[in-house]
Amino acid sequence: MIAKSQDTLPPHLLPDREIHVIISILSGRHKAQEYYDQTLKPLLDSHHLQYSTHKTASAQTIVELTRSLIIPNATQGVKQTIILLSGDGGIVDIVNTLTTDLNRANDDLRRPSVFIKPVVALIPMGTANALAWSSKIAQDALGVLFTGTPKSLPSFQVTFSPGSKLVTDEGQGRESIAESDSDKGIMYGAVVASWGLHASLVAMSDTAEYRKHGLERFGMAAAELLKNGHVYSGRIQWRKTTDPPEWREVAGSKHAYILTTMVSNLEENFQISPATKPVDGSLRLVHIGPEPVEDILRILGLAYQAGKHVTDPKVTYEEIERLRIEFDEEDELWRMVCVDGKIIAVNQGGWFEVRWLPRSGIDARRVVELVC
């Protein structure tokens, strides 16, 4: 039972903070509003908390709220806690918008002298909820809200070749991710950046028709993709954090599954990176080459057995500092990249690069704290 005394509230819920509840009404199976009405609101009210509530009206609502509310507060010294009922996409909207806009506003790329990191308390409402499962939040989100501790959320930067576009409207729309088509596009993430089978199945299953199946949508999309049997073509290079600054190259130009991640689990039981600890700040690479379909299924099936796939000799599993992929695909369908659930179509002959961001220094980009 959660105590109701103000004395027992954690610092991130005390009256000296602005508390904002953001309800992502279309996340996952569209249960966020119902959960807020029936469970969260009565609990917050029983603690006599003062808070404002915001509902999403479109895919841009959280981005707009970050710009109009969260950033002005943070740069004016206002302590704020965001209780976010969303999937992974909601928190990446906050991280990406905060980092991008703060960098744009500061020529020296450093945060303003007055900047109080927003605290985000995540109530997982998405389909997979990778960040919530990996950070040990999903097991008891309300318990974490009232007894957890905020920790700086690590992130990575993804740079895209000029002309790359954000895919919208269930694959039908395209939006620029750069100031102009001649500029590189830059995004920030906290969960995963991928190409190949993972990115394709996220892109394929990001429709209302697929989403109604919940987690099963990923398996359905994967079955369809594996039936197609496409082998992804491109040049993959990476370098480790402990290396001198020289690139290593993945042998061959054919690939099946390429993923960099800062989390351990992509789903509750799908442990993609067993060496990753909650918010430890490491970036790890998982790569599977052009294996037969039955081998790929076998290897990915091992991820459901506490991440045993990383011991398979056909899997590359490394802690890295950078990853660069140069595409050799004519069809845009096979040039889709996933960044924390968002899909970017890379231009033909283009590339993308993932860069781990350090904890401190001029390149540090830890702009929010996550209650864990």
Output the pLDDT for position 8: 86
**Contact yes or no for 218/134 (Cβ under 8 A):** no
Note the pLDDT of residue 102. 81
Predicted confidence at residue 181, as pLDDT, reads: 81
Encoded tokens for 83: 């209780």
Q: Determine the pLDDT at residue 138.
A: 96
3-state secondary structure 27-77: CCCCCHHHHHHHHHHHHHHHCCCCCEEEECCCCCHHHHHHHHHHHHHHHCC
Listed as ranges, residues in the chain with pLDDT below 50 are: 1, 3-4, 108, 362
- The domains found in the chain, sorted by start residue, are 6-154+361-371 (3.40.50.10330), 156-356 (2.60.200.40)
Tell me what pLDDT residue 1 has: 40
Q: What is the DSSP letter of 162?
A: T
pTM, to two decimals: 0.90
Instruction: Please say whether the beta carbons of 154 and 372 come within 8 A.
Output: no
pLDDT value of position 3: 43
268: which 2 tokens? 């509750």
Structure tokens at 72: 């002005």
Is 306:124 a contact under the CB 8 Å cutoff? Answer: no
Quote the tokens at residue 71. 């950033």
